[in-house]
């Protein structure tokens, strides 16, 4: 099993190209199920989760071709030959549930295993199911599978009010509504850039959608959608993660995420600047620099977009272990998402966790240690900590890392980090 070995103490200088967004791509790929014409996605990240979604779509009858060094995915769903998404594939990734809405809308029936993924909380799918039920679907849970059937004539437009903001449920309902009869209004919808990206792709496929990026999205159903070519948005979580690299290690790095990309990470960037880090917009993205030795403590509360992302909480904690004072991080999105804290303690951090709040008292230095990744974002937080630690940090179980970060060792190594992947 691979490990990542980091020897800290070296400032970073250079540039890092930001890949296409994993979470956006994982929603765009199932959108291909809505049309018998091909959907071509460009700027796709080369990640294990993308390969898992490709395998799932192929199991349903799609043809998936990875082109241009896997930076382009061509997906053809001329016929859906299998209406069941089996546990053997779905258990690997929670985003697999996103095939439910498209298959149900197009075929009138779908059977999808309850999903798996990182162990950072229950993340139930009940909001997905309620939205589809509001559109007329009959839902039954049997033997770990969701059995869904549309009424005669297909799904119907409806007013769907989400009691809680859910990105996945918004995505599933949005896709299903594009083929429903009549108008669907999603109230208290998620506002994340990945939702906007999905709506834009669906619109390119002929869908009629208004309001993406706000809490109310209106969809007028169509009889059919057509094919399209669409570019995946830059990954805001990868962007935020690499913004933290020079912040914690020192130095100056330009993140090649495209002009105007600060909007993708505005709340996070504001908090990072509060710690004393310099962030400047460039023609190609953002430049992040740490020019003085001290870091100021800050308090962070995770919130749905446009608030501070839960997917950057672990990485931010790594930085705050070195701040000059006491910081508090409140996790409001997922329970059980401080599993990286005990591993940071092994490196000399001072962290006290009570329920959904972690109190971090900054220390003067971290020490390299053998640590273990518990989930995707925790794994990269330990690598970031290793950039600043004295000595060697060995991060085990980095298969989590490979689900969401492409060639971390190459990207950081090109900026001067002493980092390598060790096999076995």
Annotated binding site for UDP-N-acetyl-alpha-D-glucosamine: 94, 123-127, 311, 333
User: Per the annotation, where are the binding residues for phosphoenolpyruvate?
Assistant: 22-23
Q: Assess contact for 224 and 251: CB atoms under 8 A.
A: no
Can you point out the beta strands (E) in 77-220? 84-85, 109-113, 138-142, 145-149, 159-161, 183-187, 208-210, 216-220
The two beta strands, 392-396 and 370-372, are: parallel
Cα 370 from chain centroid (whole Å): 26
The CA–CA distances, whole Å, from 65 to 42, 77, 229, 242, 389 equal 12, 12, 14, 30, 42
Which alpha helices (DSSP H) does 65-163 contain, by range?
87-90, 100-107, 126-134
Report the SS3 class of residue 256: strand
In angstroms, the CA 310 to CA 39 distance is: 30
Query: Cα angle vertex 86, ends 85, 89, to 5°?
Result: 100
Q: Which of 62, 118, 201, 415 is catalytic?
A: 118
Decide if 118 is catalytic: yes
- Residues β-bridged to residue 13: 252
Query: How many CB atoms neighbour CB 88 within 10 A?
Result: 11
Cα-flanking dihedrals φ and ψ of residue 325, to 5°? 145, -160
Cα 184 from chain centroid (whole Å): 26
Structure tokens at 159: 């007013």
In angstroms, the CA 413 to CA 236 distance is: 21
Closest-CA residue to 73 (of 301, 294, 231)? 231
Q: Assess contact for 254 and 286: CB atoms under 8 A.
A: yes
Q: Assess contact for 2 and 422: CB atoms under 8 A.
A: yes
Positions annotated as catalytic residues are: 118
């Amino acid at each position: 099993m691979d490990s990542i070995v980091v020897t800290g103490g070296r400032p970073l200088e250079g540039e890092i190209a930001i890949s296409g967004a994993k979470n956006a791509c994982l929603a765009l790929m199932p959108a291909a199920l809505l049309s018998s014409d091909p959907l071509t996605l460009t700027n796709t990240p080369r990640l294990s989760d993308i390969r898992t979604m490709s395998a799932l779509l192929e199991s349903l009858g799609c043809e998936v071709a990875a082109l241009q060094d896997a930076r382009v995915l061509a997906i053809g769903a001329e016929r859906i030959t299998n209406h069941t998404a089996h546990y053997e594939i779905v258990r690997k990734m929670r985003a697999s549930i996103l095939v439910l809405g498209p298959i149900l809308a197009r075929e009138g029936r779908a059977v999808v295993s309850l999903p798996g993924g990182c162990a950072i909380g229950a993340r139930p799918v009940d909001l997905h199911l309620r939205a589809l039920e509001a559109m007329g679907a009959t839902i039954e849970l049997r033997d770990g599978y969701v059995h869904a059937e549309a009424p005669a004539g297909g799904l119907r437009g409806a007013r769907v009010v989400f009691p809680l903001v859910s990105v996945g449920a918004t995505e599933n309902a949005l896709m299903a509504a594009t083929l429903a009869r009549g108008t669907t209004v999603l109230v208290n919808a998620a506002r994340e850039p990945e939702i906007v990206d999905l709506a834009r792709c669906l619109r390119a496929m002929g869908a009629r959608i208004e309001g993406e990026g706000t809490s109310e999205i209106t969809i007028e159903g169509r009889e059919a959608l057509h094919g399209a070519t669409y570019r995946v948005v830059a990954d805001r979580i990868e962007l935020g993660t690499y913004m933290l690299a020079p912040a914690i290690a020192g130095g100056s790095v330009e993140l090649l995420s495209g002009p105007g990309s600060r909007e993708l990470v505005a709340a996070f960037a504001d908090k990072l600047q509060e710690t004393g880090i310099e962030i400047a917009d460039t023609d190609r993205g953002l430049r992040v620099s740490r020019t003085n030795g001290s870091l100021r403590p800050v308090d962070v509360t995770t919130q749905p977009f446009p608030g501070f992302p839960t997917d950057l909480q672990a990485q931010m904690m790594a930085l705050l272990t070195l701040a000059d004072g006491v910081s508090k991080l409140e996790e409001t999105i997922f329970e059980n998402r401080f599993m990286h804290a005990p591993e940071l303690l092994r490196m000399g951090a001072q962290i006290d966790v009570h329920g959904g709040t972690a109190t971090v008292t900054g220390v003067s230095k971290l020490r390299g240690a053998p640590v273990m990744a518990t989930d995707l974002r925790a794994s990269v937080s330990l690598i970031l900590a290793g950039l600043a630690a004295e000595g060697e940090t060995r991060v085990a179980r980095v298969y989590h890392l490979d689900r969401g970060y492409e060639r971390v060792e190459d990207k950081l190594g090109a900026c001067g980090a002493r980092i390598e992947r060790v096999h076995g």
